[in-house]
Amino acid sequence: MCEKGRRCTAGLRLKPFPRIAFSATPPKTRQSVGWGERSEPQPVSGQNEWQGKTLSFLRNDKAKVFLLAAVVLPFVVAGCGREPIKIGFSGTLTGPFSDLGIHGRNGARMAVEAINEAGGILGRPLELLVADDLGTPEGAVQADRDLAAQGVVGIIGHMTSSQSMAALPVTEETGVPLISPTTSTPLLSRRKDLFFRVQPTTDTVARSLARWVVGKPTIRTVCALRDLRNEAYTGPWEADFAEEYVRLGQPVPCRLSYKHTEPATVQRLTQTIKAGKPDALLLLSSARDAAFWVRHFLAEGITAHFLSSSWAQTEAFLAEAGGLAHDVLFASPHLPTDSTDELRSFSWEYEKRFGITPSYVAIRAYDALQFLSMALKEAMGIKEKLPEALSRPRTMKSLYGSLTIDGFGDASGPCFIIGVREGKFVVLEFLPGMQP
């Protein structure tokens, strides 16, 4: 039941989503493999004098040192000159969007460690160089220039569409490919350049959400509220949703925007929304901002349904929205971290390593680096051949399942309606036309 004076997601008649069975126990940690019981040495037969002398030789300490050196030295010599392949990571590590950059960096680090443990790229280890892009277009440009100057062959970044757009000239100038974990603006779609991504674009998600909302009897009018600081992401998201929703005969009476949540802006937006009395509010903002708006609007007596893009689908939103998080539904390509065995195993290792639950950004960053490593192997570790390898269409196994990347470097995959239950993100149903 909903609390008095508030609407909740129960009134939206959600279709049941197939439950994914999983064990309640955490994945088993790796166990070291023992050598078994030692058997007692057998006496040397007089008929095998050569074997006896050999065993006697092996019991000599100097002989052991000689043999050890003979075995190890060739590998040491062979390893000399195996320079690491430098990979850059450029993300927001400070400022209001720092949750994205920190999780992205952590996911990239885990991927580098996994690849190096498996032997690296043709025997060469990967080295991750990290730069803070400060959450600004100018910061993104400077961070990528610095990484390129340090000799990276590719950069994992950026976390927002606006920063990726700003960094593209640097990418073309330096010839260093940019592989974004989370940039999803359609403004970069179907372009033959050095930009690649592992997250589906927003246009299909936004239009699919519009079709989903039309089927809900409790929603007719929708107002959109977007953050202009990530205009390359929020602008197309709002435009595609509104265009499809109006095409289906439904009104979008207000399309609002902001850059900061100072009191004057908050008051102006609140008055406009109260006057419009929309049935639903579509929030196109970061996790912290989305939590702020939900808390504020409910405190002001605005009881509209809350919808959100996947930008806010992070642990930061759950922490700051608290119990009010249950009032929000997300249109998202990101499965919750306990949905599959692969995601549970990754989450277990991530929490053990960093002490926090991974967000979708960590998972996408891990996949982005795995994608880059596949292309590096195909390019034989040669920087000049990397762009061609990255441009080859492929379907790869990601932590979220099968991921298709076309010849333009654009990714596609299923999308969902995500809700919050008992403080966790859960899949409620597929978005129309977005099943795998």
Mean pLDDT, residues 10-17 taken together: 54
Region 128-151 average pLDDT:
97
Say if residue 62's pLDDT is above 90: no
| pLDDT score, position 76 | 38
Is residue 92 over pLDDT 50? yes
Q: What is the pLDDT of residue 96?
A: 85
- Kindly indicate the confidence band of residue 14, based on its pLDDT and cuts at 50, 70 and 90: low
Mean pLDDT of the region 251-255 = 95
CA angle, 97 then 101 then 104, to 5°: 140
pLDDT value of residue 434: 72
Closest C-alpha among 177, 183, 186 to residue 198: 183
Domain-wise residue ranges, the chain: 85-200+339-405, 203-332+417-430
Q: Would you say the CATH fold of 203-332+417-430 matches that of 85-200+339-405?
A: yes
Q: Is it the case that residue 46 has pLDDT exceeding 80?
A: no
191: pLDDT confidence band, cut at 50, 70 and 90? Answer: very high
What is the band of 427 on the pLDDT scale with cuts at 50, 70, 90? very high
Dist CA 254 CA 209 (whole Å): 17
Rounded Cα gap, residues 282 and 255, in angstroms: 9
d(CA 7, CA 420): 15
Reading across the β-sheet that carries 126-132, which strands appear in turn? 126-132, 85-91, 154-156, 178-180, 195-197
pLDDT in tens, 209-248: 999 999 899 999 999 999 999 999 999 999 999 999 999 9
Q: What is the pLDDT of residue 3?
A: 47
Predicted confidence at residue 73, as pLDDT, reads 40
Q: In whole angstroms, what is the distance from residue 422 CA to residue 33 CA?
A: 39
Distances (CA, A) of 368 to 102, 157, 199, 260, 286: 15, 9, 9, 31, 21
What is the pLDDT averaged over residues 191-198?
Answer: 97
Quickly state the pLDDT bin for 436 (edges 50, 70, 90).
low
- Position 433 scores a pLDDT of 78
pLDDT at 358 over 50: yes
Give the pLDDT of residue 8.
53
Non-local (6+) Cβ contacts of 375 within 8 A are 386, 389, 390, 392
Banded model confidence at residue 48, pLDDT cuts 50, 70, 90: very low
Spatial neighbors of 397 by CB under 8 A, at least 6 apart, are 403
Contact 324, 290 (CB under 8 A): no
CATH of 85-200+339-405, one of 3.10.20.740, 3.40.50.2300, 3.40.640.10, 3.30.1950.10: 3.40.50.2300
Read off the pLDDT band of 350 (50, 70, 90).
very high
Closest-CA residue to 114 (of 177, 30, 33): 30
pLDDT, position 13? 56
Q: What is the mean pLDDT of residues 297-308?
A: 97
Q: Which of 62-76, 239-253, 281-295, 316-330 is predicted least confidently?
A: 62-76
* 79 CB neighbour count, 10 Å cutoff: 11
Please provide the average confidence, as pLDDT, over all residues in the chain.
Answer: 86
Looking at domain 203-332+417-430, which of 2.40.40.20, 3.40.50.10490, 3.40.1350.10, 3.40.50.2300 is its CATH number? 3.40.50.2300
Res 45 pLDDT > 50: no
Q: Which is higher by pLDDT, 77 or 351?
A: 351
Residue 343 has pLDDT above 60, yes or no: yes
